[in-house]
Chain A
């Protein structure tokens, strides 16, 4: 951990640089969403645009976490706490996913796989 005044003085340049990178990434996200010739995949919004947007957001979030929140050099206890939190968060999403596992709505294990399939649903309704 950068604790001595000298180290911190040095680290400030890094913080500024990260801030700049975050600004640039924000501009990139907006550009990808609004400028026609940066439109990947289909014309207009689609899964690829969503992926690009979320990947950039994840990179930005990682930078904030690693540098601003000092996670790049933290003690073990903190990592354990975060990993547990994130795993819990993901399992919460998993819980919502189970809501789609409805044999009546989406077919049972014999015919369908029991999981949500948007295309199938559209056909059924």
Chain B
């Protein structure tokens, strides 16, 4: 069937079909992006933190703007070529357009990667620290070491494993009798393997015991801990025999034959014996809803799940029992005082006495009444044997751990406990967030100070980073001194240039960002100046400043000069001083949330457009032979979409990169 109006215009509006279609679609796209731009404006006006103004490196965005504008020109040329029936020329221009889409996406990927690799920290006094997080590795002696790069950490770990295994092997050869049984805790088959290096923004905890909630334990966290324990030749086992009851029949006998707690203990002891002899300890069930967990049972998520089922059954039983008892009590009370109002009777109809009653043994020693509710076990405790450091992600933890706490509580109600005594596991290991700093931002400190009516500068200088508690403090005090001097010079130069108004106030002053943010350019600038023994105000000082086209996707920690000058100094922030840590991802703040939403959605449009344009380039020769005008119309429609994608970027670039 012939489709009408693919080439010839419609009579009513003078347009071919696809054009009406694409414009309807673009109108809806205007609303989609309009809504998101509106969200940006809303968030920026309403931000309760200093907005990261002009925070992105300009160069990748600038190149991408050129690339998209260029591709807009080439796509219109491709269409024009088809109109003039020049197939070869169309191919060339279309290929350039698609190549531009590729370049755009590659640059975008580089930019995204840089964000993903860049650590941001909010110290608990609202100082913002940015930089490249260090890597750490756990050595065979249980110590943790920090390194600047992943490669260094990897190599150190491997070297340590090699030495450790050599020592262990020597021990075996010098004590040949013990060769197979003992190997300093290591069998020959399982030598120490270097662990994967990890980012030094985690919490390390060496627990004696770990308690898991049977109903809330998070499967992937449990498995992560198990995996780590296994890697470090440690096991997580239960320390003692444990019976958990979900059913009254196992716990307290039946209604007619109640069981005293003494009798229950005897029954339990028998069961322990029976289970000890049983080959297969896995079959732990002993009653309808009850579970026996013998000492030495290995942790697994399935075990927690089973215990969880028992807990839920027991809780349901207890609830039902309480309701029944309460109903019965009400009945009795009403019979006793038939005339009373119910609120007058309320204090009489209590359930506590009946449920708390554990056992009643009569004179003959027979049990006349057992407890009607079972005692619930909501946590299972496991011993770590031997204790080994576990890497705990910060996001798992309920609140920052302090050394004196002795335990770390995770958000799934897991509790990692330190041991007691000198030889016991210490619990929290010193696990500072270690990074090479490339920016410090005090704007939030200043904002908080102004809100409280304090002097911003005074508050900044009292912040932790400059304090004696920070072991790298002197480095930062020195940098701050240079920074303050440079800003002083800047303010002076602004006065010299623009003068003061009638009231004697400078017409132009340094911005908050100038004053309170030490950027990566500042760090490099001051390091160069120190190398050349220059101070702010000296001639040549200002020329040492990096330009905006330096640092393609942001500060480059691998840069040789920066490395040599040691421009990005180290910092170790104690775990409990960190109030928020994140890579430069949507989690960090609303700016990065909207940045990734807008550019991500735009990037998807680029990919979608490139796919459609590729279809025209690679699969449309046939249509060109049959009906070139139809193909030209198709390319025009695809081009309209492409121009729209360019148009969105024209707004995105200044809004996200320059404002």
User: Are the CB atoms of B13 and A12 closer together than 8 Å?
Assistant: no
* Cβ–Cβ < 8 Å partners of B540 in chain A: none
Interface SS majority for chain B: helix
Residues of B within 8 Å of A, CB-based: how many?
Answer: 60
Residues in A lying within 8 Å of B, measured CB to CB: 3, 5, 8-9, 11-12, 15-16, 18-19, 22-23, 26, 29-30, 33-34, 42-45, 49-50, 53-54, 56-57, 60-61, 64-65, 68-69, 75-78, 81-82, 84-86, 88-90, 92-93, 95-96, 99, 116, 118, 122, 125
* Cβ–Cβ < 8 Å partners of A60 in chain B: 650
User: Are the CB atoms of B69 and A45 closer together than 8 Å?
Assistant: no
User: Are the CB atoms of B514 and A44 closer together than 8 Å?
Assistant: yes
Is B34 positioned at the interface, with any CB of A under 8 Å from its CB?
A: yes
User: Are the CB atoms of A53 and B654 closer together than 8 Å?
Assistant: yes
Q: How far is the CB of A48 from chain B (nearest CB, A)?
A: 12
Is B511 positioned at the interface, with any CB of A under 8 Å from its CB?
A: yes
Q: How far is the CB of B374 from chain A (nearest CB, A)?
A: 50
13 additional contacts, CB 8 Å, given A85-B28, A93-B35?
A5-B83, A12-B80, A22-B72, A29-B653, A33-B54, A43-B508, A44-B511, A44-B513, A45-B659, A53-B658, A68-B646, A81-B24, A89-B34
Q: List 24 A-B contacts (CB under 8 A).
A: A18-B73, A19-B69, A19-B70, A26-B65, A29-B658, A30-B658, A34-B548, A42-B509, A42-B511, A44-B510, A45-B511, A54-B654, A57-B653, A57-B655, A77-B23, A78-B23, A82-B27, A86-B34, A88-B31, A89-B33, A92-B34, A93-B35, A95-B38, A116-B45
Stretch at the interface among B14-22, B167-175, B201-209, B560-568: B14-22
Q: How far is the CB of A44 from chain B (nearest CB, A)?
A: 3
* Cβ–Cβ < 8 Å partners of B62 in chain A: 26, 30
Q: How far is the CB of A94 from chain B (nearest CB, A)?
A: 9
User: Are the CB atoms of A81 and B23 closer together than 8 Å?
Assistant: yes
Given the contacts A43-B511, A85-B31, A89-B35, A30 and B84 also touching, CB distance less than 8 Å: no
CA gap between A30 and B30 in the complex, in Å: 25
Given the contacts A26-B66, A85-B31, A86-B30, A43 and B494 also touching, CB distance less than 8 Å: yes
* Cβ–Cβ < 8 Å partners of A118 in chain B: 45
Is B139 positioned at the interface, with any CB of A under 8 Å from its CB?
A: no
User: Are the CB atoms of A68 and B659 closer together than 8 Å?
Assistant: no
User: Are the CB atoms of B58 and A77 closer together than 8 Å?
Assistant: no
Q: How far is the CB of B11 from chain A (nearest CB, A)?
A: 12
Which chain B residue lies CB-closest to A12? B80
Residues in B lying within 8 Å of A, measured CB to CB: 13-15, 19-20, 23-24, 26-31, 33-35, 37-39, 41-42, 45, 53-54, 58, 62, 65-66, 69-70, 72-73, 76-77, 80, 83-85, 451, 494, 508-511, 513-514, 548, 639-640, 643-644, 646-647, 650-651, 653-655, 658-659
User: Are the CB atoms of A125 and B451 closer together than 8 Å?
Assistant: yes
> A29 contacts which of B28, B85, B654 (Cβ < 8 Å)?
B654
> A64 contacts which of B27, B72, B84 (Cβ < 8 Å)?
B72
Q: How far is the CB of A90 from chain B (nearest CB, A)?
A: 7
* Cβ–Cβ < 8 Å partners of A19 in chain B: 69-70, 72-73
* Cβ–Cβ < 8 Å partners of A122 in chain B: 451
* Cβ–Cβ < 8 Å partners of B29 in chain A: 85
User: Are the CB atoms of B31 and A89 closer together than 8 Å?
Assistant: yes
CA gap between A89 and B33 in the complex, in Å: 8
Q: How far is the CB of B532 from chain A (nearest CB, A)?
A: 23
Which chain A residue lies CB-closest to B654? A53
CA gap between A53 and B653 in the complex, in Å: 10
User: Are the CB atoms of B654 and A64 closer together than 8 Å?
Assistant: no
* Cβ–Cβ < 8 Å partners of B23 in chain A: 77-78, 81-82
Q: How far is the CB of B599 from chain A (nearest CB, A)?
A: 16
* Cβ–Cβ < 8 Å partners of B509 in chain A: 42-43
* Cβ–Cβ < 8 Å partners of B38 in chain A: 92-93, 95-96
User: Are the CB atoms of B54 and A75 closer together than 8 Å?
Assistant: no
* Cβ–Cβ < 8 Å partners of A22 in chain B: 69, 72
